Amino acid sequence: MSALPPEVEALRARTRDFIRNVVVPAEPGPDLRLSEELRATLMAAAKEAGVFAPHAPREYGGQGVPIEHWSAIFQEAGYSPIGAVVLNCMAPDEGNMHMLNIIATAAQKQRYLAPLVAGEVRSCFAMTEPHPGAGSDPDALLTEAVRVEGGWVINGHKRFISGAEVAAFSIVMARNDASEGVPAGATMLLVDMDNPGIRIGEQIHAIDRAIAGGHPHVHFEDCFVADDAVLGAPGEGFRYAQVRLGPARLTHCMRWLGLARRSLDIALDRVNEREIFGHRLGELGIAQEMIAQSVIDIETSDAIIAKTAALLETDPKAGSAMSSVAKVHCSEAIFRVIDRSIQLCGGDGVTDNLPLASFMNEVRPFRIYDGSNETHKWAISRRATSRRRKEVASGAERMDIVGGGGS
């Protein structure tokens, strides 16, 4: 990790101290569900400690850290599975804050962003749909937004809408037809969750627990919103989605990498204490191999996160593409670290005596959430082959680069 500006390093140090000395002792156990009372108490303590909302603008009560330095802070927050919740930098709110800050009007920021940053309300992002609707393929979007006098009417069925049960508002992605200067495409709309046209359906019981409000189905049934509910320009929703999705993939990597670091710390404490066959476990070659591979997975993940964050700051298009690489690598590497840590801890690793099993439940879905790894690998491959074709076609590169002799 490169050197941080002094003020960011000071925030990182405060965050580390706060998470390890205040949040970790308050963790609610394997279920990871915070009561509203405990959440409010810990959030108030985070504000008092000056570590609340590290990524959010200062004008709304955040710490104003630029995205290229988020990782150092988010990894410290992620050392506890509830750390990001307490610091108000947890999905889906964190991604929504980032997008609102970039796209929203001044009035929308006052109505939605300010209370979200303050931790007074929570939000959700409604894009995923039941098959054959939008999942890993946003172009399959079926939910429709139709222009009417004074606004829009939304009809559609969403699922896996994280946090919907406790959200005050949703950012809804809906397909729209061309009309009066609006191109056909997708439109993002800000919808209050008490709108009579919204119905929260069946809860989906996934293995992760840290996101409050679960992952339920959400139904939009003749849901009317006024014209001022449009986030950004109508018809441009797919383009705006990249503003949110690229950084959101990366912040998942950051948070879960913090959890991988804690998992390895737990395993290291165990192998330094436990003796087997006359030796400390950490002195045995097979354990040393597992430890070394985990260190390698953590350090390579850290490096790719740093590169992607820098690109998102300077070249958002390239950064969004690189976030696919980071998402795939980190989600698989982090899982391996936690899995090895469980193995090194033996029987206790799969029990509630240690938190490792609950950590694994939190990180396993990340290989599916935010686009399955297989979908990202397809996109990564497609970009690579397209880039090479263009290089060869332009004459900038020759195809006979393999070299070597032969008769």
Domain boundaries, the chain: 6-90, 123-234, 238-393
Whether the model clears a pTM of 0.85, i.e. scores above it, the answer is yes
Identify the pLDDT of residue 397: 64
Q: What per-residue confidence (pLDDT) applies to 133? A: 86
Task: Using alpha carbons, select from 322, 303, 310, 152 the residue that is nearest to residue 237.
Answer: 152
CATH 3.40.50.300 applies to domain 6-90? no
Instruction: Please tell me the predicted confidence (pLDDT) of residue 179.
Output: 87
Which residues, listed in sequence order, are joined to residue 152 by a DSSP beta bridge? 147, 225
> Considering only the top CATH level, what class is 123-234?
mainly beta
Q: How far apart are CA 131 and CA 116, in angstroms?
A: 31
Instruction: Give 10-residue mean pLDDT values along the chain (407 residues).
Output: 88 98 94 91 98 97 96 98 97 96 97 98 96 83 96 97 97 93 93 98 93 94 98 93 88 97 98 88 93 98 97 92 96 98 96 96 94 94 94 74 54
Place of tokens 């993940």: 301
State residue 265's pLDDT score. Answer: 98
In the prediction, which pLDDT does 407 show? 46
Q: How far apart are the first and last CA of the chain?
A: 49
Superfamily per CATH, domain 238-393 = Butyryl-CoA Dehydrogenase, subunit A, domain 3 (1.20.140.10)
How far, in Å, CA of 80 to CA of 70, rounded? 16
